[in-house]
C-alpha cells in the first residue's frame, strides 16, 4: 500500500477478505489502516454486510480496528434500511408494509423500528427481504418453497446483502446474494443494495469528499468490488487471495502466476488496475 498511498486521497475498503477473515485481522492490516490515517487519507469501509453500520463498527473494533481510523462505514444493510424508511425511490415507495424476511438465525433487527410488519408466511407478505441466510447449514436450494410462493404471488424482493460468497476461517460459503439471484432466475423482481450497484457509491464519495480520479476501491471480489468501482469511474485494486483464491490457485498473501491471471482476467466482469497480495504497508 505504501506504493499506492501518494497516488490517491480517498480509499474505499472492503472488510472481509481485505481487512479481516470475519474473526481476526489479517497480519499487517491494522497497521496499514493506521498508516493511511496518519498520512491524512480519507477512508471509507464499504461492505455488503446485511448489518447496520454501527454494528459493523463494533465488530471491527473488537478485532482491533478503531472506529477513529475511518471517516465512515457504509453497509448494504444500512442502505436498504434507509431506502425502506424514506420510500423516496419508486421501487420502495410501491412496497406495502408487510415483510417476509430471510434472516440468519431469525435476526430481523436491521429492518426493525421503521414501520414494517413482519409476517411468518410468504402468503401474508407484500414483499420479501433478504437480510441473511443460515448458510452453510441451509443452502439456497433449501429455500425453494418460500421462493416459489413469492413467485406465485409476484412479490418484489429487496436484497440487503448481494454477496454471493463469503470468506470465513473455514473456507468460502454461500452468501445471501445467492438467494436473491435464485429468485431472479425464477422470474422474480429484485432490488439489490450494495456493491456493485452505483447507488451505494454515492454515499462513499460524499463521505470521502475527493475527486473520483483520486479515489481507489480495494476488495477481493471482481463481481462486487472491481465491477462496482468501474461502474462509477474509479480505479480499483484486487486482493486475489480472497473469494477468487481457488480459481487463481493462490492462498491469502500470494499473487497468481501471470498466465493464470491473464486467463482469469480475460473472462472477468471487470479488470482492476492493480493486484495486491495483501492490505499491508
- Examine domains 2-48+198-275 and 89-192 and report if their fold is the same: yes
Q: 245-270 pLDDT, tens per residue?
A: 999 999 999 999 999 999 999 999 99
Which H or E element spans position 137? none
* Confidence at 164, pLDDT banded by 50, 70, 90: confident
Residues 232/212, Cβ–Cβ less than 8 Å: yes
pLDDT of residue 24: 93
Domain over 89-192 is classified CATH 3.40.50.1000: yes
Supply the pLDDT for residue 112: 97
Query: Given this structure, which CATH class describes domain 2-48+198-275?
Result: alpha beta
* Residue in 273, 193, 207, 253 with CA at minimum distance from that of residue 29: 253
Q: Looking at residue 10, what is its pLDDT?
A: 98
pLDDT in tens, 128-139: 999 999 888 888
Residue 167 has pLDDT above 80, yes or no: no
pLDDT of residue 136: 83
C-alpha–C-alpha distance, residues 153 and 135, integer Å: 26
pLDDT at 35 over 80: yes
Domain boundaries in the chain? 2-48+198-275, 89-192
Tell me what the mean pLDDT of segment 146-164 comes to. 96
pLDDT value at position 67?
93
DSSP H helices, the chain, are 2-5, 29-38, 53-62, 76-86, 90-93, 144-152, 177-185, 198-208, 227-231, 245-248, 258-266
Q: What is the mean pLDDT of residues 22-46?
A: 96
Please choose, from the candidates 256, 188, 199, the residue with its C-alpha nearest in 3D space to the C-alpha of residue 222. Answer: 256
Q: Give the pLDDT of residue 138.
A: 86
10 Å Cβ neighbour count for 276?
Answer: 20
Residue 216 forms beta bridges with which residues? 11, 235
Amino acid at each position: 500500500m505504501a506504493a499506492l498511498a501518494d497516488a490517491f486521497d480517498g480509499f474505499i475498503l472492503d472488510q472481509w477478505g481485505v481487512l479481516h477473515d470475519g474473526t481476526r485481522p489479517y497480519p499487517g492490516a491494522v497497521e496499514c489502516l493506521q498508516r493511511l490515517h496518519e498520512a491524512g487519507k480519507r477512508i471509507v469501509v464499504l461492505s455488503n454486510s446485511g448489518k447496520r453500520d454501527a454494528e459493523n463498527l463494533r465488530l471491527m473494533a473488537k478485532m482491533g480496528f478503531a472506529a477513529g481510523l475511518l471517516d465512515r462505514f457504509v453497509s448494504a444493510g444500512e442502505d436498504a434500511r434507509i431506502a425502506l424508511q424514506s420510500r423516496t425511490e419508486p421501487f420502495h415507495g410501491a412496497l406495502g408494509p408487510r415483510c417476509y424476511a430471510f434472516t440468519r438465525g431469525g435476526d430481523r433487527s436491521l429492518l426493525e423500528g421503521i414501520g414494517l410488519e413482519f409476517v411468518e408466511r410468504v402468503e401474508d407478505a407484500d414483499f420479501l427481504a433478504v437480510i441473511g441466510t443460515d448458510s452453510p447449514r441451509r443452502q439456497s436450494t433449501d429455500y425453494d418453497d418460500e421462493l416459489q410462493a413469492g413467485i406465485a404471488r409476484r412479490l418484489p424482493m429487496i436484497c440487503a446483502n448481494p454477496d454471493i460468497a463469503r470468506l470465513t476461517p473455514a473456507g468460502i460459503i454461500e452468501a445471501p446474494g445467492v438467494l436473491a439471484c435464485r429468485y431472479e432466475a425464477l422470474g422474480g423482481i429484485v432490488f439489490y443494495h450494495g456493491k456493485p450497484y452505483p447507488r451505494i457509491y454515492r454515499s462513499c464519495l460524499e463521505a470521502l469528499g475527493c475527486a473520483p480520479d483520486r479515489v481507489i476501491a480495494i476488495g477481493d471480489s471482481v463481481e462486487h468490488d472491481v465491477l462496482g468501482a468501474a461502474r462509477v469511474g474509479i480505479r480499483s485494486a484486487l486482493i486475489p487471495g480472497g473469494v477468487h483464491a481457488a480459481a487463481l490457485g493462490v492462498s491469502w498473501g500470494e499473487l497468481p502466476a501471470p498466465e493464470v491471471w491473464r486467463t482469469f482476467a480475460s473472462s472477468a466482469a471487470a479488470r482492476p488496475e492493480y493486484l495486491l497480495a495483501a492490505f499491508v504497508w
